[in-house]
Amino acid sequence: MSKILVLKSSVLGDASTSNLLVDETVERILGADPAARIVAHDFSVDPIPHLTLDSAAAIRGGEPANDEQAAARTLSDSLVAELKAADTVVIGAPMYNFGIPSALKSWFDHVLRAGVTFRYGEAGPEGLVKGKRAVVILTRGGLYSEGPAQPLDSQEPHLRTMLGFIGITDVTFVRVEKLAFGPEHRDQAIRSARFQIEEALAQPLAEAA
């Protein structure tokens, strides 16, 4: 039985292309493995709070010194447990102002924890979240995989860095671009995305380890 962690971060609800493709990805996984266990977050409905003085202290170590810190530690522990339990992570990540939605960044802020999801050893940083694969649906209004806007892309490199830092290096980035260029471009981008998702899921999980 596979275990899937699903993270949605679009604010567009039913009109969101990343939400659509994330849902389709989950349906495909369930089609192949009806017993798959799904844990899902939609941060536009149920956001992870941004870091504060208390939550940062709690997440960065030390014993919680007040109720706020205790709650933040509990939340972070729970999000990390969900991540460690999953074998596939499906992320919907629209481009907002050249990067990822702050709601999704808050999730990363709660799961990148020294000594828990990464550690510093003699050889440098080491990710502790091993044997996972991730499928990341990157939606964009414009074109960033090539052309003049390519250097402006802070979405894919940032996600690659954060996932890789905790040990998730088997990542398929599904680029869904030119969504603001009209319905024809959108339809073409979605068709291409479906093909890329199918290819990613066709890889056996063992190769992700």
Ligand X SMILES: Cc1cc2nc3c(=O)[nH]c(=O)nc-3n(C[C@H](O)[C@H](O)[C@H](O)COP(=O)(O)O)c2cc1C
**Binding residues for ligand X (CB under 6 A):** 10, 12, 16-18, 94-98, 139-142, 179
State the nearest-atom distance from the C-beta of 92 to ligand X, in Å: 6
State the nearest-atom distance from the C-beta of 190 to ligand X, in Å: 10
Question: How many whole angstroms separate alpha carbon 109 and alpha carbon 139?
Answer: 21
**3-class SS at 62?**
coil
> Residue 94 pairs with which residues in a beta bridge?
139
Question: How many whole angstroms separate alpha carbon 48 and alpha carbon 128?
Answer: 22
State the nearest-atom distance from the C-beta of 17 to ligand X, in Å: 4
State the nearest-atom distance from the C-beta of 99 to ligand X, in Å: 8
State the nearest-atom distance from the C-beta of 171 to ligand X, in Å: 18
Helix and strand element counts for the chain (H, E) = 6, 7
State the nearest-atom distance from the C-beta of 152 to ligand X, in Å: 8
- Assess contact for 106 and 72: CB atoms under 8 A: no
Give the residue with the Cβ less far from ligand X, 23 or 68: 23
CA 185 to chain CA mean position, Å: 25
Give the residue with the Cβ less far from ligand X, 8 or 132: 8
Give the residue with the Cβ less far from ligand X, 13 or 125: 13
> Residue 174 pairs with which residues in a beta bridge?
137
Write phi, then psi, for 172 (nearest 5 degrees). -100, 115
Give the residue with the Cβ less far from ligand X, 85 or 152: 152
Give the residue with the Cβ less far from ligand X, 121 or 148: 148
In sign, the C-alpha dihedral spanning 167, 78, 60, 55 is positive
How far CA 18 is from CA of 140, 147, 207, in Å, comes to 9, 23, 25
Give the residue with the Cβ less far from ligand X, 23 or 77: 23
Residue carrying the six token digits 């709070």: 49
